[in-house]
Amino acid sequence: MITSMSAQTSKQTSGNIDLRSGSLDRPSDKEMVRAMLQSDASYDGVFFTCVKTTGIFCIPSCPARKPLKRNVEFQPTVRGCLLAGYRPCLRCKPLAIGYDKPAWLDQLVALVESAPSEKITDADLRALDISPHAARRYFQRKFDISFQAYHRMRRMGLALRHIRSGGSDSEAAYDHGYESLSGFRDAFQKSFGVTPANCGNLTSIETQTIDTPVGPMVACATDEGVCLLEFADRRALQRQIATLKKRLSGVIVPGANARLKHLRSELQDYFAGKRKTFSVPLVVPGTPFQEFVWQQQLTIPFGETRSYEQIAKAIGRPKAQRAVGRASGDNRIAILIPCHRVVRSDGSLSGYGGGLWRKHFLLNLERSG
């Protein structure tokens, strides 16, 4: 097990119908220039403005100073922008298109965190000018649970932590908003599959979503270290989470801990070009072969790459190149365990769970650092 180290689909539109010009491909250059100059948000996600003088790409509604027409080119997708050598604007965050969160979300999460054991009613939400219907719909769409289920899971996570630290189930019940011990025990068993008395072997895995320049990432951590960092739109995400829960005998609950705070800070520095290595501890259980591969990937220096063949030779399995590729695909901690630094023998890019455009972006970020 590695314990330390030194080192919903974003649907970008490539074929939108421009109702103003009738084009089935993309808006005319004249229309895109107009949209850019007028910060027309109706075109956000339809095309992107790439500024040649700064090397940055933006959404049409970006509030930054508008470039001269001769200094821009337009791309229909994020992938096209990145492959053309542009980096995302830190002001308008073009990679967040499709992941926009409502203005009230941070306020609502803060409300839960300020008093997680207290019930939040529809009347409470209306008092904050938050539509209960909008909150339910947003949480159901983004997280596949209702807001009330999210709140309940948060309470259950805190209760689990309380019991595992030596507290009684009766204390956990009353301290976390339950009026009866039997009601708490039923809710606990529905959430975790075991009774409070039998939860001693469960590992509490807390999870958050972290916004990054390459889109939102799902992060999970125990008290010992980070155990998952995956792109939110990765198809294998649910499988990775299921594997993690099985390997750690754990339950995943919304929340925060010191490891997630540490991770968030270091990721911010990494994407800002201020960090080349990571110090947040990792918890990455796998098969012996997987762990050998992941440990070897941790030794690849920032700004460099290694081939699958080189990794296979380094772990004493020179003919196991394909197995190395599979182990890389099973890596649950993107970026920190830098499987994006593993390429083909000829230097070309191959499979990456987060998409080749992200692999291209990360390698360019590191090479320019």
List the catalytic residue out of 58, 92, 227, 339: 339
The four Cα atoms 208, 291, 294, 344 give a dihedral, to 10 degrees, of: -130
d(CA 69, CA 111): 45
Q: Comparing C-alpha atoms, which of 367, 333, 350, 241 is closest to residue 1?
A: 333
Q: At what angle do helices 105-114 and 147-164 cross, to 10 degrees?
A: 30
d(CA 280, CA 268): 13
Using the CB atoms, write b or e for 246-268: b if 16+ within 10 Å: ebbebbbbbbebebbebbbebbe
Q: What is the DSSP letter of 104?
A: T
Let me know if 339 is a catalytic residue.
yes
**How wide is the angle at C-alpha 338 spanned by C-alphas 216 and 343, nearest 5°?**
110
Q: What is the DSSP letter of 11?
A: -
As annotated, the active-site residues are 339
